[in-house]
A and B are shown apart, each in its own frame.
Chain A
């Protein structure tokens, strides 16, 4: 994680967060069945995406300052 550039971290975070929002939407529309595994997975993705994005943002701000 530490060796990844901030842009990649933010990107991964964004994708996870996106999954955390899209998965429940698909369940709400009954496109995929609602299961506890998928529900918890979407919550986990959302949470970890946010944290990764946060770390990426902080690394980015530091880089920008150094420049």
Chain B
């Protein structure tokens, strides 16, 4: 039983922690208030809304009895009153504190554009209270399952270490590097689009059940796919992490030592086993939760799940300041509670934490075994054949410096080449890592090729919506390679032009300047499926009298169809799906039994190609002919035309709804994703590491400021802030990246690096460097940072797919530059335009590339972690 003084200290510790957290949350929310208001931009929107409302009022109300001056006075009075009611006449500082107070007291007011699902209230409290349990339900069930399943599996694997299932789960662990919404898209494709087993999204069926209990199976059915997506993105990583740490803590030397010393079993359990390993696991779990809150926003968007994440995505583009503030407060409170709870758990678990009278957690000053172990491990790394770690420079005598200067350089080079050779040999032991490296190099090669082959301005031009040049491309055409998997081949695009010489042009002159021009478009059609449409682009020259044309279609079996006769404008287009004569679609006249049978093409197109003798729509194979008989009535007049038969397949990637070649976005997606990934990961890691080192070295206020910023940052969700920055401040994705990097710099990593630097701060070689007169920054950059680089590099590699996926996530939420072709943008367009109904290539191609990129970096990073991390090398 703990003594009374211990309980009192613990209570005091908890109160102080809670107080600090309240301050942290308050600062975080106030910063959010400032960001949300966008320096007065939201005020301008409110003023414009007031003007609109007053304009509408004066338009609909008879004010003719008032003089113009009186009308103006009434307008200004009403305007002032409405502005006053919104607090727009107060100084911003005062207003911001008022909003802050309203925010933390849950007094969020009413929404202008969002209402409850029943549509009976615009009160933001009610809107949030309606959405919050939906998110908690999803989170609660998924977290519980992930935890229970992964701990159970991890326990079993740690028991059967090295067995088939152990290796199986180890191999699958990189799957968790892909965000849950990517799995969500894949699951929708499989279970909703193809198998029709589960709904695409939402939370309820169209019709309510008879009883309230009837909601249980309905909600469960709708929850299954989001739940599976969460499981896939977290389960394997959880199993890997926990199994690894179960193994580590089972085999620690100091545990064996404690057993050898004859300590009681309970003491060994508590002091030597649980305490050292639990803080890590608890921390790991916290970060899992923090990451989960980020992921839930996108997941709810994909599944149209009516939770707080979807509410946030809806509210930001509508400038719903109250709703956004409410959700930031909810996010902050949930995260703050998690941190507070874990702080309390830490107090019980972490043997390094002492609870002082002031409730501060302090670390013992003496050097602990942990550092000596780390140092020994790092030293030993250099002796191992795996790779070498450069020893930190130590102060040297002049004599030794001279000796070193004279030492032959080739020896150093030889040592380096040996180290590289050893490192490569070590990597070769991990087949998945080798595959990962090959994919990474392939991606880098493709990116370099793309940047030179399709310069960025050209790519942006090609990716513009409604580009006239895109007219020649089919709409939603599948990639050409899809024909390998089909029994009936889809036709490619067929383009024939009289100007380009791919069509026959005959000109017969008659009297009075009249010319008869015949254009013949003949082509073979051996395909098993129908084309999508037929278009004819006319290019006629005339001064006054418009040329007259007659269009005739001839099938291989000798049938003829009259497609119409009309006078031409200078640039006219005939599109069969829009301009087909009514007779063509008359079933009795054309003896067609399957006019609406539709296999992708327009019914009119099927009439031109289908065999009338077959029950099912089947194109007649053979040579088709389109004949254009034109009459021009002036000497200088001429007539040309281009026939476009829109096919079902196009290029290696297909096209989208705006006839854009998807290959442009798939190719350019690679350099953009890699640039985002590399820049984000390197900038975040290096800055975090430098700040942590500086904080530890300088200590005092510098360290305090850095740590408090990290605390505040932990309760600010990164994704919502990134979305707000994009909508309110800058439409540049690189500005958003910068903000995300800044936020991530002060994330959990900085605390981990700080812990590592604290271990080495009092090391003898640092003391020696100080005594030798090295400057502070020299000690930081030359002696401290290089020391932990071997441990940081794998983490940096593992961080790259996080940023790659983050870019795709932002683009999927339409947080991207409009004309920037990226993988996420393709998925966004595909999901918005119904790719799940028949155009799966559109969504699967970019999803496949994101998964491939994410997995390749994760596989390489995990292998590096196993090689570089001395604790993991043992198992």
Contact = CB atoms under 8 A, between A and B. Distances in A.
B353 interface: no
Contacts of B281: 54, 58
Interface stretch (B132-140, B422-430, B774-782): B132-140
Nearest to B245: A58
12 contacts: A20-B143, A21-B144, A29-B213, A30-B212, A34-B133, A43-B140, A47-B341, A49-B144, A53-B151, A54-B278, A64-B159, A66-B265
A8 to B, nearest CB: 15
A62 B285 contact: no
Contact of A24 (B133, B151, B289): B133
Contact of B147 (A30, A43, A54): A54
Interface in B313-345: 333-334, 337-338, 341-342, 345
B41 interface: no
Interface string B267-300: 0011001100110011001000100000000000
B132 A34 contact: yes
Nearest to B212: A29
B282 A51 contact: yes
Given A30-B212, A57-B155, A48 B136 contact: no
Contacts of A24: 133-134, 136-137, 140
Interface in A22-67: 23-25, 27-31, 34-36, 39-40, 42-44, 46-51, 53-55, 57-66
A34 B131 CA distance: 9
A43 B337 contact: yes
Contacts of A28: 133-134, 137, 203, 215, 219
Given A51-B285, A54-B282, A59-B269, A43 B277 contact: no
B158 A42 contact: no
Given A2-B270, A53-B151, A55-B349, 9 more contacts: A21-B141, A23-B133, A23-B140, A30-B212, A31-B212, A46-B139, A50-B285, A51-B341, A58-B278
Given A1-B348, A39-B133, A18 B144 contact: yes
A25 B130 contact: no
Nearest to A52: B345
Given A51-B285, A58-B281, A61-B158, A44 B341 contact: yes
B139 A36 contact: no
Nearest to A53: B147
A40 B337 contact: yes
Contacts of A65: 250
A34 B129 contact: yes
A44 B337 contact: yes
A59 to B, nearest CB: 7
A46 B133 contact: no
The 8 A-B pairs of least Cβ separation, nearest first, read: A27-B133, A24-B137, A21-B140, A24-B133, A24-B136, A20-B140, A17-B144, A34-B129
Contact of A39 (B129, B246, B273): B129
Contacts of A53: 147-148, 151
B80 interface: no
Interface residues of A, number: 42
Contacts of A25: 137, 216, 219
Nearest to A26: B133
A59 B155 CA distance: 11
Contacts of A63: 269
A67 B44 CA distance: 71
A21 B148 contact: no
B333 A46 contact: no
A55 B337 contact: no
A36 B106 contact: yes
A39 B212 CA distance: 20
Nearest to B250: A65
A34 B212 contact: no
A46 B341 contact: no
A20 B334 CA distance: 14
B129 A43 contact: no
Interface string B109-145: 0000000000000000000011011101101110110
Contacts of A64: 159
Contact of B129 (A35, A48, A51, A61): A35
A40 B335 CA distance: 11
A1 B278 CA distance: 14
Contacts of B334: 40, 43
A28 B349 CA distance: 36
B136 A39 contact: yes
A54 B242 CA distance: 10
Given A1-B348, A47-B337, A61-B246, A42 B136 contact: yes
Nearest to B155: A61
Contacts of A27: 133, 137
A47 B285 CA distance: 10
Contacts of A35: 129
Contacts of A66: 265
A41 to B, nearest CB: 10
B341 A55 contact: no
Contacts of A54: 147, 151, 278, 281-282, 285
Given A34-B129, A54-B281, A47 B147 contact: no
Contacts of B212: 29-31
Which one of B130, B140, B158, B289 has the highest number of Cβ atoms from chain A below 10 Å of its Cβ?
A: B140
Interface string B192-233: 000000000001000000001101100100000000000000
Contact of A46 (B143, B216, B246, B345): B143
A27 B140 CA distance: 13
A65 B469 CA distance: 71
A62 B274 contact: yes
A56 B260 CA distance: 25
A48 B341 CA distance: 8
Interface in B51-75: none
Nearest to B142: A21
Contacts of B342: 51
B278 A55 contact: yes
Contacts of A60: 155
Contact of A51 (B141, B215, B345): B345
A54 B246 CA distance: 11
A55 B249 CA distance: 13
B47 to A, nearest CB: 32
A62 B270 CA distance: 10
B282 to A, nearest CB: 6
B130 A34 contact: yes
A23 B143 CA distance: 15
B566 to A, nearest CB: 60
Contacts of B134: 24, 28
